[in-house]
């Protein structure tokens, strides 16, 4: 196979949403799988709605997801001369023509067709008139009137359209700008794109694009149209389903690899496997396993995948990922080693970095600021509980070397000597150290806090 070149072609009229991200990921995976190229094109011909800030945001989202592109992004707004060159070629070869019908006239033709029970379309009035360029005139493709336009879709199988159903499409507007289909075909062809993967909202454009390739004598790429992502209620996905822009997922503490993993699985499968490393995805990805049916977005499943990724991220790395989220709650400048241990202690149960940051606060906050859960205090810090804490305090204070292991030994000995069950001392100790029930292993917490801070917390609880 010649070199595979795929592309992602967003319109910068909004932030990158998860549907767009998913087709970008598929295209990226296909290129990386074959050692080919993945190119980026910014479709900014709609000058009214396109904004530089959205281009910046889309590029930032792609980088965050780890979707690197080859070469510089191509901007459609800078390629009008190129589009005109191809339009001129079609005009010269008699494959396109100038048309002076006004939009109102074309609408009237459609009305007439509709009234006669025919497909509403432009009636070809200027097709054979040999008009020259002129004010207010558009250029139309002289499309074949009979036969079929057929392409083999990588996802949907063979798709055929009757040419009689299709209009002589406009390829150059009256203001001189190229239309979307013309620009995309010229771009994909000149950028050497071999495989076009995109959302199936574009499937109706594809026969028109195939006609243009044929008219221009350019090789037609492979197409694959992936079904849309729907909400859990099978309606078009929107914010009300909890779907966010990619950039917002960063703010809510998702790991980019988790989002990539989730989005890939939403529309592609490899047996029942749910979790894939990036390298593994690159190796296993094939358009053969792209799903033909629309997938439902499930925020809970996304969080579940994220939790798996948090668990398997090395502690030191996770510490740096959660650091900005801690800073937001005022926990700045925590030492890297301390933070890594703390992150490791809490990562088992966190579904995103916000949850992780919140869970870690009891070990990070100053001993004098540890908040206490009133109910837990009431339950665990009665007279008996405080008595155990006072006794344990002395035993911990007597340790020459204090670490998690030593703390564990002291605890075991205390319980054994007194003939107690661990649950007599666990809850008061937990409330003293962490302010509430629940949380990680107590010996590990004490090892992390160290002797001085452990004693300070016990003293505070005894004095409550
Ligand atoms: N710019 C189009 C969009 O954002 C994509 C066009 C294409 O992939 O061919 O929907």
| pLDDT tens for each residue of 397-420 | 999 999 999 999 999 999 999 999
CATH number of the domain located at residue range(s) 79-226 in this protein = 3.40.50.620
Domain extent listing, the chain: 1-74+227-299, 79-226, 313-364, 368-462
Q: If you measure from the C-alpha of residue 23 to the centroid of ligand 1, how many angstroms do you get, rounded to a whole number?
A: 10
Q: Pick the catalytic residue: 239, 312, 375, 413?
A: 239
N-to-C CA span, the chain: 75
Q: Is 345 in the pocket of ligand 1 (CB under 6 A)?
A: no
In 3D space, the residue among 128, 131, 143, 314 whose CA is nearest the CA of residue 213 turns out to be 143
| pLDDT tens for each residue of 209-242 | 999 999 999 999 999 999 999 988 888 887 788 7
Which of 151, 202, 210 to probe ligand 1 with, by most ligand atoms within 8 A of CB?
202
For domain 368-462, the CATH architecture is Orthogonal Bundle (1.10)
Strands of the 138-141 sheet, one edge to the other:
96-99, 138-141, 170-172
Which of 6, 16, 43 to probe ligand 1 with, by most ligand atoms within 8 A of CB?
43
| pLDDT tens for each residue of 309-361 | 999 999 999 999 999 999 999 999 999 999 999 999 999 999 999 999 999 99
Q: Is 203 in the pocket of ligand 1 (CB under 6 A)?
A: no
Q: If you measure from the C-alpha of residue 11 to the centroid of ligand 1, how many angstroms do you get, rounded to a whole number?
A: 7
CA distances from 192 to 62, 180, 186, 187 (A): 21, 18, 10, 8
In 3D space, the residue among 240, 342, 341 whose CA is nearest the CA of residue 299 turns out to be 240
Answer yes or no: are the C-beta atoms of 273 and 267 closer than 8 Å.
Answer: no
| pLDDT tens for each residue of 62-87 | 999 999 999 999 999 999 999 999 99
Catalytic residue list contains 239: yes
**Right CATH number for 313-364 from 3.40.50, 1.10.8, 3.90.550, 1.10.3470?**
1.10.8
């Amino acid at each position: 196979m010649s070199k595979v070149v795929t592309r992602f072609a967003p319109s910068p009229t909004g932030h990158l949403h998860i549907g767009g991200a998913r087709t970008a990921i598929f295209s990226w995976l296909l290129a990386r799988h074959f050692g080919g190229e993945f190119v980026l094109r910014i479709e900014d011909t709609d000058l009214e709605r396109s904004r530089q800030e959205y281009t910046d945001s889309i590029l930032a989202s792609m980088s965050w997801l780890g979707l690197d592109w080859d070469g510089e992004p191509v901007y459609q707004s800078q390629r009008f001369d190129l589009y005109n060159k191809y339009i001129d070629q079609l005009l010269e070869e008699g494959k396109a023509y100038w048309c002076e019908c006004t939009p109102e006239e074309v609408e009237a033709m459609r009305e007439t067709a509709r009234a006669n029970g025919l497909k509403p379309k432009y009636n070809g009035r200027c097709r054979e008139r040999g008009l020259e360029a002129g004010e207010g005139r558009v250029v139309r493709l002289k499309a074949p009137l009979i036969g079929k336009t057929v392409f083999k879709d990588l996802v949907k199988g063979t798709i055929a359209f009757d040419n009689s159903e299709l209009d002589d499409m406009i390829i150059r507007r009256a203001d001189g700008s190229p239309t979307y289909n013309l620009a995309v075909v010229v771009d994909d062809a000149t950028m050497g794109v071999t495989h076009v993967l995109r959302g199936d909202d574009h499937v109706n454009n594809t026969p028109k694009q195939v006609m243009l390739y044929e008219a221009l004598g350019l090789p037609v790429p492979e197409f694959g149209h992936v079904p849309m992502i729907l909400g859990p209620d099978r309606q078009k996905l929107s914010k009300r389903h909890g779907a966010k822009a990619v950039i917002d997922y960063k703010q809510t503490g998702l790991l980019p690899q988790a989002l990539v993993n989730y989005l890939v699985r939403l529309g592609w499968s490899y047996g029942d496997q749910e979790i894939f490393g990036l390298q593994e995805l690159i190796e296993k990805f094939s358009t053969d396993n792209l799903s033909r049916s629309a997938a439902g977005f499930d925020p809970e499943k996304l969080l579940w995948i994220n939790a798996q990724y948090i668990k398997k991220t090395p502690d030191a790395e996770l510490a740096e990922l959660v650091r900005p989220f801690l800073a937001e709650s005022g926990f700045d400048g925590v030492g890297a080693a301390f933070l890594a241990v703390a992150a490791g202690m809490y990562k088992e149960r966190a579904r995103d970095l916000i949850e992780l940051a919140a869970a870690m606060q009891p070990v990070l906050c100053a001993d004098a600021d540890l908040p206490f859960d009133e109910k837990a205090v009431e339950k665990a810090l009665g007279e008996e509980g405080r008595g155990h804490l006072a006794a344990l305090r002395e035993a911990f204070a007597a340790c020459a070397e204090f670490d998690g292991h030593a703390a564990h030994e002291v605890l075991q000995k205390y319980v054994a000597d007194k003939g107690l069950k661990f649950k007599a001392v666990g809850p008061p100790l937990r409330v003293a150290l962490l302010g509430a029930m629940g949380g990680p292993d107590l010996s590990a917490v004490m090892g992390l806090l160290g002797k001085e801070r452990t004693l300070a917390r016990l003293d505070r609880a005894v004095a409550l």
